[in-house]
Structures are given as C-alpha cells and as structure tokens.
Structure 1
Amino acid sequence: MKYFYSLCAAMLIFCTNSFGQITGKVLDGGDQSPVIGATIKNKSNVGTSSDATGSFTINVPAGTDLEFSFIGYETKTVKAANGMVVTLSPSSTSLSEVVISVGSRNSKRTLTDTPLPVDIVATKELTSTGQTTFDKALQYRVPSFNTVQTPVNDATSLLDPYEIRNMGPSRTLILINGKRKNMSSLLYTQTSPGRGETGADISAIPVDMIKRVEILRDGASAQYGSDAIAGVMNIILKDDANNGGVTLRSGITSKGDGEMYGVAINNGNSLGKDGFVNYTLDMSQSKLANRPGTVDAAGEAADFGANINDVKAFLAKYPDARNINGSPNTTAMKFAGNAGKKISATGEIYANFGYVYKKVNSFANFRTPYWRTLSSFPYLKDFFGDGTAASYQGYVPTFDGDLVDYNGTLGFKSSRNDWNTDVSFTTGGNEQTYTVTNSHNRNGTLNPDGTNKYKENSPIIFKPGGTRFTHNVGNIDINRRLNDKVGVAFGSEFRSENFTVIEGDLASYEDGGADSFAGNDPRNSGTFNRYNIGAYADVAVDFSDNFLINGTARLENYSDFGSAFVWKLSTRYKFADDKVTLRASASTGFKAPTLHQIYTQKAQYSFVPGQGIQVGGLVSNVSREARLLGLPSLKPEKSMNITMGVGLNPSKNLSITLDYYNIAVKDRIILSTEIGSTAAGNTKLDGVLKENNLSDLSFFVNGLNTRTAGIDFVSSYRKIAVGEGKLNVNLAGNYTMKNEREGAVNNPSIVASAGQSVVNGTQEALFFTSRPKFKAILGLDYQINKLGITLNNTLFGPTKFQQQGMSLDLYTEFKTKMVTDLGISFETTKNSTLQLNINNILNVLPEWSFKAHNAKGEALLKDAAALKNESNLITFNQRYSQMTYDGYHFSQLGTIFNLSWNFRF
C-alpha cells in the first residue's frame, strides 16, 4: 500500500499545471437538467467531463475557447469564465453527433449518416455492468457478442473465446484507434466454442482506458483485410489531457469465494500547447472460485476398471473426487496510453501503446488413487504422500500460465490542400508460457544402465514451453473530399507475422511427457513467418443529402498462399426529415489461415467419454505426417455478406434500428474431430497413430461451407421523466435464423476411405448450435440527483450440444435463462462516486436436459439407468454436472457482488 500511495501522489503532482481553474455547469437547454458526462476541452485537447450534477472543473485561463459536446446534443463553443453555465441544445437525432471511424476508409461520418450498422458503447456503459474485464462487460451490453468460460482450463484459462454473430473469434477484426491489434498466440484446442481458432486478447485492455467502442456488424475485408468476415471492433482510447481518477474495486461471490481486488489509475496531461497524453495503470487479482460436481461411483469404477468399494470409500470422504473447476486464480497488471501532438498547422503525430502481464493458476482433473494406482506406480506414495500407502490420496497437477501481451502504434497525420494523409507503424505481440507442477512423467523410458529415466526418477515440476505471436504493420491511408458530392480514399498495408512454438524441457514431452499437459517437442517447435501486402481504393458518392453509395475494392497478396481480391458496396437513403434511414450492403471477404493453424503440431491430453483422459495428436498441416496422410494445404476462407436494415428516429430521444444479415462462408477452416484407427488396422492412418503412440489424431482442413443469417435489433429511449429523475431505456436483441452447414463435408481421401469424417455431431454443434439461438438485453438506467440505478436484464436463448461420446439418438439442450444485474451508484462528494453491482442477483445458473432426435432417443429418455450413463459420459462422471464438459455462455458462479469507488482528480 505504501507503494500505491506514493504512486497516487506522483500522479497528482504530474497532472498539476499552472493554468487557472475554471468551474461551471452543463445543463440541458430544454428542461435545465444536468448533462452528465459532457466533454469539455480546449483546442489543445486539455479537457474534462461533467459530473452527476452537471458540474465541471478545468484548468485553463479565462477567455479560452472551450468546446462542449455530448451524445445527442449539438456541440457548442463558449469562452471560459469562472462560474459559467452552459446549456446544450438536443440534436435533431439522438446520435447524429457521434463521429465514427469504423466502417469506411473514406471521410469519417456521424452515426446516422453511415450506411452500415454500428454499435457505440461508451465507457460508462461498460463500467455500469460491474464486470471486471472488457470482454465480460461487452457480453452484457452487445447482443450479437458472446464469450464463454470453459470449465476445463489449462491454457484456455488465459484467454476466453469470444465471437460476434456466432462466427468464431477469428472472424472479428480488433482495432485500437483504427489500427490492427495483434492476435493471441493461443490456439483453442479444447472441445468448446472457438475450437481450432484464435483471436486477439481483448480482456487485456483496461476498461478505464477506453473512451468508447465502435462495433461494425458487417463484413469489412475490403476495408481492413483478413479476419473481418463477421465484423470489426474498434476500441477508441481516452484522449483527455486534464482529466483522471483512481478506481478501487473489490468483489466476491455469494458462495464466499472468487474474491477480487483491483486498482486502476487513469490520468491525462497536456504536451505543450497542442498536445495530450492519457494513460492508465490497472492492477487486479481474482481468486479461485470452485464449482465441482458430486462424482458418480459407478461411472468411475467403469471408466478406470477400479473396485467399486475402493471408489465408494474415496468418494465418501471426497464427494467431488477433489476436483477443482470453475474460475481460476488470476493476477493481472495492465498499462496503456494514448498521445497526440500538433507539430505544425497541418500535421500532428500520435501514438498509443498497451502492455499486460497476466498470471493464471488453474488445475487439471484430480488424479484419484483408483485412477493413478499404487499397484501401477508405487513411487506415488513418496511423491504425493509420506511414503506410506495410506498417505497416498491421489494428486492434482497444477497449471500455471504466464501471459504477456503488448501493442503500440506511432503515426503521423497531415491535412494539406484538402488531402488527408495518415502514415503509421504498429507492432504487437502475445506470449504464453506454462509451468506444470505436482505431476510426474509416468512413462517407461530406460537409461543405458536399465533404470527408469522417469517414473520414480521423474521431476514433479515441468516447463512445457508455450507459444508466441508477433506482428509488424505499416499503413498508409489517404482520403479527400473532391467536392460536396464525391469523396475518395486509397491506401496500403504491409504486415509481417511470426508464430513461435517454444519447446519444453525434455521431461515435459519425452515418451508422453508430464501427466496432464505434455510439453512441446523440439521437432514440433520453431519460428514460422509470413508477410502480406494489401492495397484498397474507396469511393463515396453523396448523390444528395439523403442518398449515398460507397464502394471499396481490395487486393491482398500473402507470401504463403497467394492473392485475394474482395469488394464491398453499401448504400443509405434517408427521408421523412431524416427520421427514417434505409441501408444495405453487399461484400465479399476472406480469412487467411493463421500461422497457428498451419504450423501447430503437438500431443495433447483430452477427455474421451468412457475412457477418461487420453493422449491424442494434432498434426501440422505442413508436417511429414500430413504428407504421409495426403492432407491438403490450407487455403483462405471466402465469404459473401449481405446486410439490409432500417433506422428510425421518431423523436430526438428515441432511436430504433433493425438489420438483417446473411453470411455465406466457403472453405471454412476447422480443426477436425479426433480420427482414430481403422478396423483393419493396416492403413497409413493406423501407421501414423502406432508410430507416435497416439489414440487418435486431428488436423486443420478447409472442411465446410456454412451459412449464418439473423436479425439485430437495437433501440434506445432517453430522458424519460420519472419523478424528479430521468430514465433511459435500452432494448436490443439478436436472433439467429440460420446457422448451418451447406453441402457435404469436404473429407480428405485418407479419412473418407477409413469410413470416418473430419466433422461429427459434436463439431457441428460447436459450430452451429452451441451459441444462444437468441439473446436480448433490456437495460434501465435511472438518474436522480446524485443517485444512479441500473437494472440490466440479459436473456440467453437455448443452446444445443451433441457432446462427444453420447448416444447419437440424443442431444442436450441448455434452457433459456435470464440474468439480472443491479447497479447502484452514488456521488459521495463532488469528485467521488461509490458504485455497488450485484451481478446475477437472482442466482440464475445454467440448466440442461436430454432431448431425443428420434424414437430410439424417446425410449432412452424413459430409461433412468441409460440416462445416468449418458450423463456420466458428457460430465466426466458428474465432475462437470452444471456445465457438461463443453462450457456455457453465462456465469457458473452464481451471484457476484462488486463494490468500486472512483475519485476524480
């Protein structure tokens, strides 16, 4: 704490300057109510914002021109004077003044002028959720956005998969201030949504650094290149030069675990006359929250060939078989900044950066004494006991992950003779390394003298290695309004990518490696590189104030698979005094196979229903094994995206949008299901499995054509008078009309000839039905004087799974559930606010049940013993009874209490 107080003092001294202090209020020009959160700044970007009473303080000389702005109001410039009262007039449309930078490479447009569907999420909306990370906050604010926490952690505990419109994490492009963010080095290989893909680590971005988020719900490969098939998320960082604060956070679950502590410091300062810097330091820790199930003895005995009495005796003492699953212990330090400075009348330099260190401590499945027995491994009583047989009660391997993620951009903008030029360089990277403890290498490699190299001579701490991804990106973007009707833009991007598989220590991988998580073999490790260069051209024609057409074309060339050409055409028409907007777009897109998908090869532990944990192999697409099997090289996915929508602004405080989307993806890249040996046992496939001592193998392949269609609905009704306060109502939803495979599975010949397929019912469920069929959010925000109350209701529609190993006559369905979050904030002083959030206040938990595909399934539903066996298969004998083994889309932790206190400098 001494360090913390010193740091706060240093920040306060740093932000102090010699300007005079101006105080005032910002009021609504109609009813004279306070405007909360209005931005006040001078031409040098020295700024602040109004509090819950509309009051503000800013350090500038009297007479300075101050610009006042807020969503839904006309921007106003007034000369600074102490005690000033500024009234803002509501704009004709509630969001017309929000200038967005995503959706077109041409000149920026206001939200109601864009021909594309864009969500704007402000910082206040994110913090009001009470969620501790950016991705979880979006989950409860954006209906088309979903994220999932997998119950079996391992490397996935470092980064949860997320997606827009059920399209997987790799098909949403993440930008920071309009520049591409680096991907994570983690490849999801668990049987969970996002399997076989990777995405950017958006949880690494401190919420206190975010000004707003722009989410383009439309294909945008023509504007931005690969990965933008489902849409684009542009994270705009704060740019206040004289506005900051400290936020203290704490939280706990209703079960008394999962304690969370955090502190975030955000501050700004001017850089000379025409510049600013804003920065945030965020430090937090979340402790373990454990939600194990009650394990079934009969299922255990059958899986492990154990004596039922031994199993019952152990479970009598430990009903959960000492399993630990839920939310792992996570410690994080995040640092981010944003800066800009004019260097001439026509030019400015800008920069932003981010750095995060995250450490996660999680656990593998507990190895019970009837699973890892003393009869097979007599030395375990010495490793995990006091040397006596009675002291050995099994062991649980721990999994520690260390993550470092960084990004930075340096650029120069100029505006000369109406030509706007932006030149930038962006770098970024993500590294994840692992440590396995409390484990052993149980395999029988022999030393030259005939003794065991491992087993009783095994270490119990292993370094399995990890992965690293880096990229360097150069951008040149130029645009100009040729006249009041026509605008043009063009530009180019060069990107170099590196993916590294970091080898583990010898004991972690040799002859099966560490029990629970095998390390990276040097033969599968190394650094792999590629580069690409792209160029685009964009033309926007405003035929009138109401009618717009925008066209974009892009050519991209990759060093490893060649070229891709994509295009986009969008239009918008407004009428009825801008109260009605019609919009539509059509575009082609592509997604390049990631280096992770091309080069990852490893042995991995996975749960096989009825067999427990088995070792399978993931075969690199360019490996010797891939050539032996005749696996085809990966090629890019191609897509066709159509969007049509309508926007309504019946009054200044009411806005409604409705958009239909239809996304067809050809040659979708998937991680195949586990391919096992054939009945004959004499094929090349069988040879590869035997040679590598694997139970099965999987690989990446362009295996599917898919189509996803649905509807997005977003509405907002602001400033409804309720008593002495004002109520804002937000209702939004996403409904999936179609999400399915089109045509046959594209099976490689080696798989087809073995009578198998790269896609089974489990895979199809993960791709198409494991996300909510629909999702809706009803948010109520009420402000009365210094008190603010938010009530957020998130409805998660049904999801369907076909879990691996269960009867093909059955499937599981998670029921529709509504999660209710309550937030209460109170302005304790002029500069401080106390906020209490009770998330999932009604303690709603996932519920699932078996459903029948056919008549045989109906018969199974009436057989209690058969159903119990099926349930054991998909929950690892009830270890994961609440979630099954595949994860789910809202918290398994129940009610969570969060308390925060914010002090503004």
Structure 2
Amino acid sequence: MSLRLCLAASASAFALLPVAAMAQETPSDAAIASDAANVDSAVADSGTVIVTGTRRANRTISDSTVPIDVLTTDAIQNNGFTETNRILNQLVPSFNFPQPSITDGTDVVRPATLRGLSPDQTLVLVNGKRRHTTALLNINGSVGRGAAAVDINLIPSIALSRVEVLRDGAAAQYGSDAIAGVINFQLSRETGARITATYGQYESRVDGIEAFTGLQTNAAGQPVLTPDANRNGNGDVFATNTTGKDRKVSDGETLTVAATVGVPVFGEGNLNVSFEYQDRNPTNRTGYDPRRQYNRLASGAVDPREFTINRLSHRYGDAATKDLKLFVNTSAPLGENAELYAFGSYGYREGTSGAFVRLANDARNVAAIYPDGFLPLINTDLDDISGVIGIKGEIGDGFRYDLSANTARNAFDFLISNTLNRSYGTLPGQKTAFDAGGLRYTQTVANLDLSKDITVGFAKSLTLAAGGEYRRETYQLKAGEPSSYNAGPVVGTPSGAQGFPGIAPLIGGQRVDQLNARHNWSAYVEADLDVTDAFSVQAAGRYEDYSDFGSDWNGKLAARLEPVEGFALRGAISTGFRAPSLQQQFFAASATNNVNGVLLETVTLPVNNPIAVALGSQPLDPETSVSYSAGVVITAVPRLNVTVDVYQVSIDDRIVVTDNLTANRAAGATNPGVSIARILDQAGFTATNAARFFVNGVDTRTRGIDAVATYRMELFDGRLNATAGFNYNKTKLERILAAPGPLANIPGLVLFGRQEQLRLTQGQPRTKINLSLDYERGPFGITARTNRFGRVLAAGADQFGDVRLGAKWVSDLEVRADVGQHLELAVGANNLFDVYPDRVPVGLGTDPVTGAARAYSATNYVAPWSNFSPFGFNGRFLYARVTAKF
C-alpha cells in the first residue's frame, strides 16, 4: 500500500472510535481578540490560541504539532508598506515576494511564495475559508511562472486582526494547494474606529547608474561606439558621458488612506467595515539606453536626433496602480447557541506598466506614427468580488457545527495604449490603443464542518472532526477587438497590438473563449488527541474527487512530545496534492515575435489544443507531494520562545511550461527545428512557428530549516520585544520529463531548459534572516528591522549569461508617538541604507571556459537588475503616517 493510502487509512481509523459526532472547531472570537490584545511584537506569544492547522478549541502556538507563526496587529500596522505581501516579506523568513517589471499583468498582480515553492502551492484562507485565485496566469519571466495565485494584496492590512502562517503540508486538512503551507488571514472583530493615512516616496541614489550628460563623440562629432557594439546582435551601442555620480531619483509617491469601523449589532453581534484606497505612482530604475535609435543618414552619419532624444525611455520598476478595497465582517447571534456570520470583499485595481521600447529604427515601428519610436503601455483593470455566509453553533452535548457557502469572481482586462498593429501599416484610421481582451475566473464553495470533544479513559482529551466540501470553478478568456490580434494587409510584419497582442477567439483551429468549468467533492476526518499534558497526536485523512481528472487520497500524522517541561519535540508526515488549475489547462495566447530578425508565430496552448496534441501534449495530472518535518520547541526560559524545524517536501509531476518548441522551415535547417516543422506541417499547422504548453514536467525535492525566536523584557521603564527568524531552503530537480509523443524522437530537443530549471532551484533566496526590535515607553515607540536576503542565481541565455545576486541586508526604521488620547504620528524609512541588488552585467564579458570576449544583451543596459531580486530594486522609501483611533 502506498504511503499516501497508509496515512489516509491511519487517520481514518480514529473515525471508528465510538463517538456521537465529529466536527470542526475554532476558538471563540473573544479568545482571539484577547490574545491579540496581549501581544505586540512581530510574532505572537507562545501561549496564543491558534485556529489554523487544528480543529481543537484551545490549541496554542507552543503546543502545536507543526510550526505556525502568528503575526500580530501591531507588527502589521507599524510598517511603512501598506501592501500585505510586502509586510509578510518583512516578517516571515520563508516568505518571498519579488517585484518584477516588464512582465505584463504580473507587474500589477505579483505572486508570492512560501518555502521556495510555487505561488499556487500555498493555500490562502480568510477567516478559515478558502480564498479564490486571480484569473491572471503568470506566464512571463518572473518567479512563479506558470502559476495562478491568490492576490494577497487585495486583502487590506487594516482589516486584519492577525495572520497565521502554517509552515507545513496541510492538504489532508484543507484540500488542494496546501503543499507548502497555509496562510490564514483573520479579519478584525474589534469595536471602535481607526483611520490612517500614509504618504511616502522613494528618495534614492540609483546604485551603478551614473547620471547621463551626453554621448561621447570623435573629432568628426560622431558618437563613439562601445566595444560590445555590433556583437551578438547588439547593433550600434554608443559610449556615454556621465557625471560620475549615481542618478538621484524621487518617485513612487504613494498615498494610502484606510479606515476600519467596528460596532456591536444585534446584542452580542458585530459589524466591521474596512476600507483602503491607495494611489501609487510608478518608479523607474531603467538605465540610459545607449543604442542607436534612428537609421543612419545616407552619408553614414548618425541622425542628429541621437544627441537630443530622451535615453531614459523605458519603464523599469513598480507599475502605476490605483487600488480600492472594501472588506465587511459581521455576525449576529441566533438564540443562545448559534451564530449567523458573513464576510465579503470588493477590490478594484487600475494598473499601468510598460513593455520594451520599440526604437525609431525598429522594424516593428511605423515612423509616420511614432517618429521617435514608442513605449507600449499595458493598462490593466482588475475587478474582484467575494462573499461568504454561514451559520455555526453548538447543539446537544458539545456537538459543534459550521455550515457555510462562498462565491467569488475575479476579472482581469488588458487595454493596450501608445502602441500599434504593425501589420496594418499606415492605413487610414490605424489605431494606437486596443481592447486586448481579458480573463475571468469564478469559485463557489460549500462547506460543512463538524466537531466534538470526546471523553476517553486512556487520554486527557480527544477532539474528533469531520466535514465535507463542494467546489465549482469556471475560467474563460474574453477575446479582444479584432484589430488587436488580426494580421493586416502588410505581409511579413508582426501582427497584433505590440506590448500585449489581443486574445484571439480562435487559436490552432480551436475556440479558446468558451466557458470552462469543473467541480469537486471532498470529505475529511481528523482527530486531535492529548494522551497526556506532555504527549499529543494529530491525524487527518481526506478524499477528493474532481470532475476533470479523478480522485485523490491524502493523509497526515503529527505528534508532539515534551519529555522535560519547557522542551518539546514535534514531527509530522503528510501527503498532499495540487489540482492543475483551470488557468493552466485552458489559457491560450498567440503572438508574432521577431526573434533574431525572423518572424515567429508563437502560441501558448491548452493541452487539448490540436497543435499541442500533435506535438505530444497530455491531459494534466495533479501534483502530488510527501512532506516530512521535525522540530524542537523551547520555552524553558521565561519570556523566551524558540522553535527550530527541519523539513523536506518531495513533489512529483510539478506542472511547468515547456520551452518554446520552434520550427525551422529554412532550406538546410537542422534538428530540432526541422523535425518540429515536419510535425506541425503534417498536422496542417504550416503557419505556426513556435508553440509551448503545460506538462507535468519535473519532480523536485525541497529541504530546509525554519527557526524563530522571540524574547520580551522590561527595559528603562519600557517594554522591548525582540524577534529573530531564519530560513534555509534548497530545491533539487529529481527528474525531468522526457519529451512526449513525436517529440521523443527529435535529437537535441530541450523540453524544459536551463532557464526554467534554475527558476525552480536557484531563483529564490537560499537563506533569509529576519531580525526586529520593538520598543515602547509611554507614548513613544520605535521599530527597527533588518532582513538578510540570501543569494539568487538568475539564468541567462547560457551559463555565462547568468546573473548572480549576492546576499544583501535591507533595514527599516520607524519612530512613532501618541499625541493626546486619539492620535498617533509616525515617520520612518524602508530600506534605510538605500541598498540595491547586484547589477546585471553589461558590455563585454569574458567566457570563463574559452577566455574569449563576449557581449551581453544590449537590453541589460535598460533593465539593470534582475526580476528575481527578492526585495525589488527601488531603493530607499521615506514615509509619514497619521492614525486616529476612537
């Protein structure tokens, strides 16, 4: 019998005990509020009651069988960043939130990861209920490529009472996605009102980008070329004059206004309404573009405009965004032993980011429309709504129940401006803005959770739980306007809106704008047993059945032993899974790209598309995992709490995107391109030049260590809280899928190349350290944090183009004071010492094998930092905040 079935069977055995009922249980909201009020450091006290990873009513952090962090309200609020993802990145060692640029929609919906795994391998809950993912599939060159994740930044920090981060596999308890762990956002139920306004901006010296004063010229007044000019397709690259000082920037002005109001209703009920508006201006950390922008004159001299054009023409940094977020959380008593509850959210975001500039001399430009070239702008509209309603209570002798239903919809639209469809040439009415289509995702869930505390003679306490869930999801692509994707009358030119070609309704002979739906049923049982005060065991088993790929069993077994008071050992073993998302199964896109002067019709395809099938695609299977963890908990020293946990997560059949499978129909072409062309031509797809699709492509093994320590003490008539966290994380590829179907017979074919392999294994920090100090004395407070982000390796086109990002310390400081009874003022700096990641290489390098000179891509001049930087590349952020409390 497989380990997965053994664990499920062992967990299910607890259900055979003579009990009246089994159910889910959560601690009372009053208990949660009390715990939150008594802690104010980054991580809650070890005695805080938790609601994630257990159905027990009184399980605490220190007696949990698996590692869990509880982030407090003060840690969330005492922060210059108001984006929830950035806050978590500062506070949770195993959490990673890179901030990529020039990645289309990913610029405004940036995914985050836990324990170095994929963004879609972490389950996100709100008030213990599954949160929906976005419709956007991250398909470009960022961490998390190929994943559709939850947009955590749609959850306003002011709406939260605390955040619980379960760092262990929990699919047996919660279902799909909980391979890396679970993040549970608890909404506030406090009464009163709080209004806060935060304003800040970046004030930075851009490390390594010296201020530009003009082009270097020779005696004839013509620009001097750099040594890497005309190498590796770089074209003319001009040498520049600079001031010798780094460029100074002041940008990214961000205003965030947020408010939360809580009032009692219906006696012991409550109503909390939280609102946040954020207006963030873009940042730009591009380098000066030294490339020749215009065609040379007939005489061979450069166009005079080369000396006057703005060479900071790209946008490389944070996108411009405007966010509106609203959360409502309410409950009302129904008699003495029942409660009706509901919560919901609405979010709207406008974003604007840039693609790569089309130079004036670019074949994709139409000089009559853009004589100086153009920067396509990708404007996005995100519209998100969700709602949950339920009833919970207790009947009989301690029999507890929770029945709920929730529904959600996420819509993401692309509106491309300052662009053109080159294939329409200079026809009258040539458009420069297009509706490029959009994406739609919905989720509907119904839950029933039951629990009961059982008295058994051999144990101190036993809680048994069981429940079921029904979930339905839909996904749909919305086609753009025809001129955003059609090929116009100008033959041999790229078609579609540049920057982001519109979504075509027909790709590869298949309609891609149809509604796709699936549903699944699941049932679980769970037992939480305290044999004695010193020994506890937890077991869970879960069965899931999906309409599109079948069923799956999962189990979990965990235990905690405290042989000496204040020193405990804990460990867990579990299996897990992640169902392939509808986005991965049905996303499709088509574009004509100019690759080394060759126009390629490139398509990203669903696995059931005729082109993908011709190349050998197969229906996607779920990812499956086996997780192990073991750790120690030390609470023997008063006010000191230390946890150290080691873990291993092995994942089979991870879903990844293939490399571009490029056909080559030129005379004398060689493999693999000629064989790919033959396969496509025989299938009747003679217009397709390159294709990619999703596959269950790799097996991985991730090993790591998590350590967290907190200490509290009285100091100089004040209170000092210190927190330290450390994460070490390493992922190894255990197996790479052999090329499927007819691709298997092609010599030299690369299905999943080096760039994508390194994205999984070295694209996130190997180590991360979080250190923080919070000191309060009377009306004054200070918070100092510093984070060390370990090294990252971002793959280039070959191993000599790799970008090695060294470890960096990034420090934050905030000072605050109460002014009277209701007002607090704060000032601070994030990235106080203006730290940047290591730059990507430019110009000429040296091949470490042959010693020969090589030229790095000319685009490295305008994109000076890697998108894999774990703390972005914006520099120092200064802010002020005013908070009114009533």
Matched ranges for 1:463-482 at <5 A? 463-482=435-454
Aligned residue for 1:591?
578
1:406 aligns with 2:385: yes
Aligned residue for 2:373?
394
Matched ranges for 1:856-867 at <5 A? 857-859=847-849, 863=852, 865-866=853-854
1:245 aligns with 2:226: no
Taking the aligned partners of 1:308 and 1:516, their CA distance within structure 2 comes to 34
Which amino acid in structure 2 is aligned with residue 602 of structure 1? A
Aligned residue for 2:213?
none
Which amino acid in structure 2 is aligned with residue 620 of structure 1? P
Which amino acid in structure 1 is aligned with residue 623 of structure 2? E
Aligned residue for 2:611?
625
CA contact (8 A) 2:542 2:553 kept: yes
Which amino acid in structure 1 is aligned with residue 317 of structure 2? G
Aligned residue for 1:516?
499
Deviation at 1:263, TM superposition (A): 1.0
1:773 aligns with 2:763: no
CA contact (8 A) 2:554 2:575 kept: yes
| SS across alignment from 1:651 | coil
Please point out which of 543, 565, 583 is paired with 2:553.
565
Which amino acid in structure 1 is aligned with residue 329 of structure 2? N
| SS across alignment from 2:749 | coil
| SS across alignment from 2:518 | strand
Deviation at 1:859, TM superposition (A): 4.3
1:493 aligns with 2:481: no
**Cα distance per residue 1:85-108 (max 9 Å; x no partner):** xxxxx9xx9834411111124445
C-alpha distance 782-688 of structure 1, shift in aligned 2 (>3 A):
farther
Taking the aligned partners of 2:645 and 2:296, their CA distance within structure 1 comes to 55
Q: Note the residue ranges of structure 1 that are not aligned, 5 or more in a row.
A: 1-42, 50-66, 74-89, 385-391, 445-451
Aligned residue for 1:901?
882
Deviation at 1:373, TM superposition (A): 7.0
Please point out which of 763, 777, 795 is paired with 1:784.
777
Aligned residue for 2:629?
643
Aligned residue for 1:289?
283
C-alpha distance 611-331 of structure 1, shift in aligned 2 (>3 A):
farther
CA contact (8 A) 1:466 1:504 kept: yes
Deviation at 1:575, TM superposition (A): 3.5
| SS across alignment from 2:635 | strand
1:753 aligns with 2:702: no
Taking the aligned partners of 1:44 and 1:419, their CA distance within structure 2 comes to 15
| SS across alignment from 1:847 | coil
Q: Which moved more, 1:650-659 or 1:551-560?
A: 650-659
Taking the aligned partners of 2:687 and 2:260, their CA distance within structure 1 comes to 53
Matched ranges for 1:716-865 at <5 A? 716-721=710-715, 723-736=716-729, 738-754=730-746, 755-803=748-796, 805=797, 807-809=798-800, 811-848=802-839, 857-859=847-849, 863=852, 865=853
Aligned residue for 1:550?
538
C-alpha distance 336-69 of structure 1, shift in aligned 2 (>3 A):
closer
Which amino acid in structure 1 is aligned with residue 741 of structure 2? S
Aligned residue for 2:153?
203
Aligned residue for 1:420?
400
CA contact (8 A) 1:320 1:879 kept: no
CA contact (8 A) 1:843 1:894 kept: yes
Please point out which of 113, 138, 141 is paired with 1:191.
141
Deviation at 1:370, TM superposition (A): 1.0
CA contact (8 A) 2:46 2:641 kept: no
Please point out which of 877, 886, 889 is paired with 2:870.
889
User: Aligned-residue CA RMSD in angstroms?
Assistant: 2.8
| SS across alignment from 1:182 | coil
Bigger RCO (CA 8 Å, 6+ sep): 2
Deviation at 1:515, TM superposition (A): 1.8
Taking the aligned partners of 1:516 and 1:348, their CA distance within structure 2 comes to 51
Aligned residue for 1:87?
none
| SS across alignment from 1:258 | strand
* Percent of aligned pairs with the same amino acid: 28
C-alpha distance 143-94 of structure 1, shift in aligned 2 (>3 A):
closer
Aligned residue for 1:655?
641
Taking the aligned partners of 2:847 and 2:297, their CA distance within structure 1 comes to 30
- In the alignment of these two chains, the number of paired residues is 786
Q: Which moved more, 1:155-164 or 1:528-537?
A: 155-164
Deviation at 1:140, TM superposition (A): 0.6
C-alpha distance 557-789 of structure 1, shift in aligned 2 (>3 A):
same
C-alpha distance 759-94 of structure 1, shift in aligned 2 (>3 A):
closer
Aligned residue for 1:231?
181
C-alpha distance 748-589 of structure 1, shift in aligned 2 (>3 A):
same
| SS across alignment from 1:726 | strand
CA contact (8 A) 2:764 2:868 kept: no
Please point out which of 451, 461, 484 is paired with 2:433.
461
Taking the aligned partners of 1:652 and 1:192, their CA distance within structure 2 comes to 44
Deviation at 1:558, TM superposition (A): 0.2
Which amino acid in structure 1 is aligned with residue 774 of structure 2? D
**Cα distance per residue 1:402-442 (max 9 Å; x no partner):** 00122211010011211110000011121101111122111
Deviation at 1:870, TM superposition (A): 2.3
| SS across alignment from 2:330 | strand
State TM-score, norm by structure 2.
0.84
Taking the aligned partners of 1:712 and 1:831, their CA distance within structure 2 comes to 39
C-alpha distance 316-773 of structure 1, shift in aligned 2 (>3 A):
farther
Taking the aligned partners of 1:209 and 1:340, their CA distance within structure 2 comes to 15
1:677 aligns with 2:660: no
C-alpha distance 631-267 of structure 1, shift in aligned 2 (>3 A):
same
CA contact (8 A) 1:617 1:698 kept: yes
Taking the aligned partners of 2:753 and 2:298, their CA distance within structure 1 comes to 34
Aligned residue for 1:18?
none
Aligned residue for 1:81?
none
Which amino acid in structure 2 is aligned with residue 120 of structure 1? V
| SS across alignment from 2:110 | coil
Which amino acid in structure 2 is aligned with residue 421 of structure 1? Y
Deviation at 1:44, TM superposition (A): 12
Deviation at 1:576, TM superposition (A): 2.6
Aligned residue for 1:434?
414
Which amino acid in structure 1 is aligned with residue 155 of structure 2? I
Taking the aligned partners of 1:345 and 1:584, their CA distance within structure 2 comes to 39
Please point out which of 108, 123, 148 is paired with 2:73.
123
Deviation at 1:320, TM superposition (A): 3.2
| SS across alignment from 2:802 | strand
Matched ranges for 1:438-457 at <5 A? 438-443=418-423, 455-457=427-429
Taking the aligned partners of 2:620 and 2:309, their CA distance within structure 1 comes to 48
Please point out which of 680, 685, 698 is paired with 2:692.
698
Deviation at 1:857, TM superposition (A): 4.3
Deviation at 1:309, TM superposition (A): 6.8
Which amino acid in structure 2 is aligned with residue 398 of structure 1? L
Aligned residue for 1:95?
45
Taking the aligned partners of 1:404 and 1:415, their CA distance within structure 2 comes to 37
Please point out which of 118, 128, 152 is paired with 1:178.
128
C-alpha distance 469-307 of structure 1, shift in aligned 2 (>3 A):
farther
Q: Note the residue ranges of structure 2 that are not aligned, 5 or more in a row.
A: 1-26, 204-248, 488-494, 507-511, 665-669
Deviation at 1:746, TM superposition (A): 3.4
CA contact (8 A) 2:103 2:140 kept: no
Deviation at 1:809, TM superposition (A): 4.6
**Cα distance per residue 1:793-831 (max 9 Å; x no partner):** 01000001222x2x3355321011110111111112211
Taking the aligned partners of 1:505 and 1:181, their CA distance within structure 2 comes to 32
**Cα distance per residue 1:266-285 (max 9 Å; x no partner):** 10111121100111111110
